Structures are given as structure tokens and as C-alpha cells.
Structure 1
Amino acid sequence: MSSKISTIIFDLGAVLIDWNPRYMYRKIFKTEEEMEWFLENITTGEWNENQDAGYPLHKATEELIAKHPEWEKEISSYYERWIEMLGEQIHETVEILAKLKKDNSLKIYALTNWSAETFPRALERFEFLQWFNGIVVSGEEKTRKPFADFYKILLDRYNIDATTSLLIDDNLRNIKGAEQLGINGIRFINAEQLRNELENVYQIIV
């Protein structure tokens, strides 16, 4: 780290918000094995990321059903019942966010891979999303992490110096994408690990 951190950038899903399609699909499938096969082979993470980058939910659903008509009900449920995939806020990390927000020397932003069509539901549900100095949502920008243009939107929009910024993200791929632009990164595992790295590596007391 070459300079003191002045900007902290949070990922949302799996860092501050517990989102998992299994919460909904366990109500549909009889066994974990069948559910996992479906998530690995039909409504894959790559498929969902396409919608995170702005592809319309109804088109994605229709096209996937056309490929796998035998799974029509289960595919349709993905976005029809998306709200059931949304768990609680991750309280320990939200506590860290709250403490960082009190530090007047820091600006706090969110950079999230999230569909523009479903993100308003999260805004309604989680009060802490109002704490950020700004949020950049992939679905609104039609691009996503780890692509360089998505990070640059945040940097340019809020006049952020990459070298004094720090991304907290659970996905190593996204951390590496940020590092290509000079953004520092912490791969999030849990709140205790995050607190330790903030304090011991970046001298940010939380």
C-alpha cells in the first residue's frame, strides 16, 4: 500500500447481504442433490451474471425455458420468487460499515453486481444501503465486475483515486480485476478476518 486509504468500496452480496438462491429452491426441490444439479446446470451463476450486467429478466427466463422446457416452472421461479432468495443483512459486517461511516476521513461506496430490476427490492429492505456516499449497480450500467469499465465508472463518477481506495469483495476474481486498475483489495471471508486486515494491514481501526 503506497498511500493512506481514503475510500472504501464494499461489495454487497455475501459481504453485507446474505443472498442465496438455495433459500427459495429448497422449497421446490425434494433433495439437495437435485437442487444443486439444477443450479450448476440450468440456472447457473454465469446465467445470472448476464442479468446482473443488464440483460432483461423476462428475456433471460424465456430463452432458458426454450432450451430446457422440462424445467419451465423451476426456471420461472428464479425471478418470480427472487425475493425469497434474499436473506438478512450480515450483521457483523454492517457493524463494521457503521463504524467506518463514522470516520470523517473516509468516503464509503458500494460497487455491486446486481440486476437493476431486482435491486430496488434490496433498497426497500435494507436501511444501511442509505449510508453510502454512492452506489454503482452493474445492471444500471450494463457491465459488471471484473470488467475494467465497471470499476472506472465508480472511480470517474466520484473522482476517486484508485491508489487510495480499497475494495472489499468475497470474489477473488473481482479483487484481481480491481487490482489491475491500482485499487487495493481485501477478499472477504468473514467479519473477523475483515476487521483484522483493516486494522493490521491498512491501519483502519474498526
Structure 2
Amino acid sequence: MTPVKHIVFDIGQVLIHYEPDAAFRELIPDAAERKWFFDNICTHEWNIEQDRGRKWADAEALLIADFPDREDHIRSFRKNWHMMITHSIDGSVTILRQLIADGHDVTMLTNFASDTLREAWERFPFLTESRGVTVSGDIGLIKPDKAIYDHHVAAFNLDPAATLFIDDSARNVAGAQEAGWQSVQFTGPEALKVDLNNLGIRV
């Protein structure tokens, strides 16, 4: 296996905790109704298109046309987005900062809407401490499409075979491997330490 020269972090569920349910517990107190709302209205598939670059106003209009009685809840998804990021994953942040301090080449690659990523930067300064970040909403590409990995390689002059990707999503990990990268699925900071140590990267 090629020695790792570049380390690329995902952001959501690796460095910061993302929980849409947290923003709707007061708006929709019944857990079953909240689940229905996320399964049928503000779905993952709907939200990922904002990560691809669709404007929030357009996204909201699409849903309001079909669910006019849910307009307030639909608009609350973006309005209360800040409540969905409940905390940083401190063990991962410690690893990130240690890798940077030790001189490793660290960047980030994330599925994130452009505007909400900027909000996250303001709340969590460590998200700006790597060499740079590829934001899906900025370039109109999303993981696990091979094109976004290739874009990141070109943008940061990486050697794919020497690049390690860390992501919580099995699909995104597989996408990185198909693009010629090394990758590990994030399950927690302690497991990540083991994965890095197994690759000869001490943290």
C-alpha cells in the first residue's frame, strides 16, 4: 500500500454532529410525526440537492407547492439549521489539530450547502485550520460521485493513491476507493486513532 501523504476529512458526523431532529422537537413534539415529516417532506434526498448547490428558496418552493399546509415547518428547516449542529466531535478535532501540528497535509471534502458551511465556519474555527476545503455546494458536485474526488485531487495537487479519506458514510468511503484513494469509515475518534496508527500515522 502506498504510504499516506495526504489526509482528507469529511465534516458532518466526523468533526461536527448533525442532527436535524434537534431543530424540530419543539415544532413537532410527536416523534412519530417528526419521523414522517423527514421521511416524506424534508427528506435526505431533498436536502442533498442543497448540498449540490440548489438555492434554499427554490427548494422550499418545491415542497410548499406540494405541502402548503406545512409551509412553516418547511421554512423552519433552513431557519433553524443552526440548531441541527449540536456540538463538535471533540476527539476528532483533537486528531485533526494534532495531524496539522505534526506537519501532515490535511484538507477537507464535504457535502454541504455553501451558506450553511459558512455559518459552521463561524461557530467552529477548526473547520478553517486545514490547508483548504472542497464544498459540494460551491462546485455543484456531491459525494460519492467520482467527479468530486477528482476535483479535490486537482484543486489541492494530491496523489490519489497516497490520499487517505475519512468519512462516516460507507457510500462515500467506497466512492473514494473507486477514485483511487485510500479510505476508512469513521465510527468514532478512538477507532480513527487505531486506523491511522495502522497506516503508520501516529496520533
Q: Given the two structures, how large is their TM-score scaled by the length of structure 1? A: 0.96
**Can you give the 5+ residue segments of structure 1 that lack an aligned partner in the other structure?**
none
How far off is 1:175 after superposition?
0.6
Alignment partner of 1:24 is 2:23: yes
How far off is 1:51 after superposition?
0.5
Offset from partner CA, 1:144-169 (integer Å, 9 cap, x none): 10111111111001110000000000
State the one-letter code of the partner of 2:158.
I
How far off is 1:70 after superposition?
2.0
2:115, 2:52 → 1: CA distance? 11
- Percentage of matched positions with identical amino acids: 35
State the one-letter code of the partner of 1:167.
F
State the one-letter code of the partner of 1:34.
E
Q: Which residue of 1 aligns with 2:61?
A: 62
Q: Which residue of 1 aligns with 2:155?
A: 157
Matches within 5 A, 1:1-206: 2-104=1-103, 106-200=104-198, 202-206=199-203
State the one-letter code of the partner of 2:18.
W
* SS of alignment partner, residue 92 of structure 1: helix
1:23, 1:30 → 2: CA distance? 11
How far off is 1:130 after superposition?
2.0
How far off is 1:45 after superposition?
0.6
* SS of alignment partner, residue 107 of structure 2: strand
RMSD: 0.9
Runs of 4+ in 1 over 6 A off after TM superposition: none
